[in-house]
Chain A
Amino acid sequence: MIKSGIYLDYAATTPMDKEVLELVHKTNILEYGNPGSLHRPGRLAKKQIEKARTEIAGHLQADPNEIIFTGSGTEADNLAILGVARAHKHHGKHIIISAIEHKAVLESALRLKNDGFEVSYAPVDKNGILDIAKFKKLLRPDTILVSVMYANNEIGTIQPICAIAKTLLSFKQKTGYPLFHTDACQTAGTLSLDVKALGIDLLTINGSKIYGPKGVGCLYLKHGINLESQIVGGDQEWHKRAGTENVSLIVGIAKALDIAVSKQESENARLSHLRDYFIDKIQKTIPQVHLNGHPTKRLPNNINFSFAGIEGESLVLLLDQAKIYCSTGSACSSLDLSPSHVLLAIGLTPELAHGSLRITLGRETTKKDMDTTIRELTKIVNHLRNISSVKIYEKK
């Protein structure tokens, strides 16, 4: 990455790892064949895909033929939710998703609703953790699918996936339902992806969050689970995802995951240290700040604050002017002008939801970046509070 300014939006997307970039480029030139072709260029391309599939499966403790490549994390989520529901509707037409899912899952569920399915939204507590007791009450004999994201993209809260899987066991022993999907886009390269230990049936990964290429994702689908393909055409990916495979991007996502996993332990330690340093400093220097998400059960790279009396888009744009790049859950930043559903679900007032700032760290982030950001952020918050019509904080 060319370092111009301080990029702190790694949860939105990561710059591509240099090694991955070179591999993608090389593969693009060498493996031009269609993996579906019988001839040598085709076979060579096919070989690369299967090698990538085996590598990814290895990190998930899965079999290679349980991995389906898609065009993005969103597509993998769509395939999981729509594909499972549509293939299993003979058993029931009820699904449960958490209230803080990514839009890729939320909108899939909404589509199912329009198709006559019932959707229940499992609530989360003030830290964003799924309320298992309330979740249990939502389970029904006709529940075919549960989807809870591994860690939230906005507030970084990590869900107790194993515990949720356990509560499903008693239901599953009788009928095999509900199937359990998790969106792990934010956790790949950060937390364990061992699908057996997690007790997961379907899991989504995305290339662009792990220093890999954009435009590629994959879905783990446990053996024996039927799924209706959402893109139809050729018989690629066992008839579950049609379309000529994008060989270079598939090779790229596998390499990216490989590198991310190898750096996992050291990066987690380094980033959680920087994260805690930043959170502590901000809480000490800026009055009336609210940390969103769980204090400890959060991604090592996630910081999310709400600043009383100011609006997030202004904050992000002034930081942008200072060459510091982060994001907000404010309504003004979104096209539909409604504040983030995640922040509202954890019980934030609309005002605080409007004043949120997400800072996500990554491989290039240094302590110096943190100090610069703390300094600039303090100045900007002061300025915006000075011109704000909401005077609810104590002036020194």
Chain B
Amino acid sequence: MKKSKQPKEKKQRSKILAPLGDVGDWLYSNIVKKHFLSPQNFLVDDKKYKADGIGMVGSPACGDMMIVWIKVDKKSQRIKECKWRTFGCASAIASTSIMSVMVTEKGGMELSKAIHLKPEQIVDRLGGLPDRKFHCSVLGQDALRNAVEDYLVNEKTSK
């Protein structure tokens, strides 16, 4: 019975505390923590990986750099697979991880939707990010858009 009460409380707390970057006993939200500690869909070796589109943003000098690889189902124009690698802080890693989950769940996100994915959607799914970490979600969304655009260009040239 305790369990059913807890999530409600936590949601409220994260709303209030998220801008301060201090949620519960951890630095960021529990979802950020989960995706930071067990990141989903990252790609260790890209040499053998055949992607339909690749997107890259940021630079190590700026402190954040992301690469995103996508595979696309050509019939449905949905994202089948989304792999990534990130150099960056906990929220950058969590942003890319959750983004890769968001675009591949429920049969995959349509390209038309993926290209317009908003950073705010990533932040919402993460249960909030402190203001100064908002750019992490922007980078995730940029990398995805670049990958989709890369796929569309590849498609055009192959036709």
Contacts and interface: CB of A to CB of B under 8 A. Distances in A.
Contacts of A317: 27, 36, 90
Given A314-B89, A337-B132, 19 more contacts: A309-B60, A311-B63, A311-B92, A314-B88, A330-B63, A331-B63, A332-B63, A333-B89, A337-B63, A350-B60, A350-B61, A350-B62, A354-B60, A354-B63, A387-B44, A387-B93, A388-B87, A389-B65, A389-B67
A314 B37 contact: no
Contact of B60 (A313, A321, A337, A390): A390
Interface string B52-65: 00001000111111
B86 interface: yes
A38 B85 CA distance: 70
14 contacts: A311-B92, A314-B93, A331-B63, A332-B92, A337-B63, A339-B63, A350-B61, A387-B42, A388-B86, A389-B56, A389-B66, A389-B67, A389-B85, A389-B87
The number of chain A residues touching the other chain, given as a range, is 20 to 34
B86 A330 contact: no
Contacts of B127: none
Interface of B: 27, 36-37, 39, 42, 44, 56, 60-67, 85-90, 92-93, 132-133
Contacts of B86: 387-389
Interface string A191-221: 0000000000000000000000000000000
Interface in A306-346: 309-311, 313-314, 317-318, 321, 330-333, 335, 337, 339
Contacts of A321: 37
B65 to A, nearest CB: 5
Q: Which 4 A-B pairs have the closest CB atoms?
A: A332-B89, A351-B60, A313-B89, A350-B61
Interface of A: 309-311, 313-314, 317-318, 321, 330-333, 335, 337, 339, 349-351, 354, 386-390
> Which of A317, A318, A331 has the most chain B CB atoms inside 10 A of its CB?
A317
B87 A350 contact: no
A313 B93 CA distance: 11
- Most chain B CB within 10 A, of A310, A330, A386, is at A386
B14 to A, nearest CB: 18
